Amino acid sequence: MKLEAGQVAVVTGAANGIGRAVAQALCDREIRVVLADIDGDAVAAAADELGPDTLAAPTDVADPHQVQRLADTTLERFGRVDLVFNNAGMGVGGPIWLVEPEDWHRLWSVNVQGVVNGMRAFVPHLIAAGRGHVVNTSSLAGVTAGPFNAPYSASKHAVVALTEALRGELDVFAPEIGATVVCPGPVDTRLLRGATEGIGTLLGAPAEARQGWLGTLTPDQWERLAPGLSLVAQMADEAMPTARAAEIILSAVEADRLYVTTHPSWTTAVSDRVARIVADMEASV
């Protein structure tokens, strides 16, 4: 979809990180932006900084009523909506059987239902207008899978599936409307730093300082875990600035690309995974 001055965009998770940078990049193109975030003070400050053609909308994307109100507020204020960025997300990790049910539930409500709520609230308006583009944020963890990241990775796989399904449904209902799933690699945000710095501290700390399930590991188990943790901690070294990630995302919208990533060189992990799936399936009978 061609981005043009005067269009209206909604960005969730817009108070910080990638969402904040996408909002900035849209404002730079004179696109009016509704910034939605669960952190009301931070989103008000972000909207103030970005100027008068913005609106701060405190919203918990996990709540379908709040997201519906976000759509109503957008249309009341600006009279149209062209672009919807379902970007808000959070992280939860750990061994599958040790993550508490309430943590599974909250993560799923935000990362998966949050995207569903965004599509339920806004897609009907895009179809009625006969124009628009939906951008859902997944992760490279949404097209690969690894240990100790199952809640996050599984939720991001769901976002890929949701966006692929949306593309097929729009092909029937409204082919002119675009859909993109964003699969970022490491981008320099609070979310990434929280994960990598926490792991860096853990790797440098004595065994006695390890807490929770990590404190229960035998020396052998720790030896098997630590190399993988080091790789995650090193992701910080390859973190991309948020402004660059935002430009890559907006280019994908303009090119009407279904998939986009910030780190194309990391997609060998995707091809390796797909090759393994196909090889095992072809060998099945």
Ligand X SMILES: NC(=O)c1ccc[n+]([C@@H]2O[C@H](COP(=O)([O-])OP(=O)(O)OC[C@H]3O[C@@H](n4cnc5c(N)ncnc54)[C@H](O)[C@@H]3O)[C@@H](O)[C@H]2O)c1
Which residues participate in catalysis according to the annotation? 152
Site string for ligand X, 26-45 (x = CB under 6 A): -----------xxx------
Site for ligand X in 203-242 (CB under 6 A): none
- Rounded Cα–Cα distance for residues 169 and 41 (Å): 37
- Specify whether the CB–CB gap between 274 and 22 falls below 8 A: no
- Given 7, 8, 13, 163, the residue binding ligand X (CB under 6 A): 13
Kind of pairing between the strands at 178-182 and 32-37? unpaired
Instruction: Yes or no: say if 126 and 75 are a contact pair by the CB < 8 Å rule.
Output: no
Q: Which of 9, 47, 50, 192 binds ligand X (CB under 6 A)?
A: 192
Minimum CB separation from ligand X for residue 84, in Å? 14
On whether the CB atoms of residues 138 and 182 are closer than 8 A, the answer is: yes
Q: Taking the complex as a whole, how short is the minimal distance between the CB of residue 165 and ligand X, in angstroms?
A: 18
Choose the binding region for ligand X from 9-17, 74-82, 125-133, 251-259 (rule: CB under 6 A).
9-17
Q: Which of 90, 154, 199, 229 binds ligand X (CB under 6 A)?
A: 90
Total chain residues near ligand X (CB under 6 A):
29
95: which residues sit within 8 A by CB, 6+ positions away? 148, 213
When asked if residue 160 is in the footprint of ligand X (CB under 6 A), the reply is no
Question: What string of DSSP letters covers 61-111?
Answer: TT-HHHHHHHHHHHHHHHS---EEEE-------S-GGGS-HHHHHHHHIII
Over the window 125 to 154, marking each residue x when it contacts ligand X by CB under 6 A and - when it does not, the resulting string is ------------x-x---------------
How far apart CA 118 and CA 96 sit, in angstroms, is: 27
Provide the binding-site residues for ligand X, judged by CB under 6 A: 12-13, 15-19, 37-39, 59-62, 87-90, 110, 114, 137, 139, 184, 186-187, 189-192
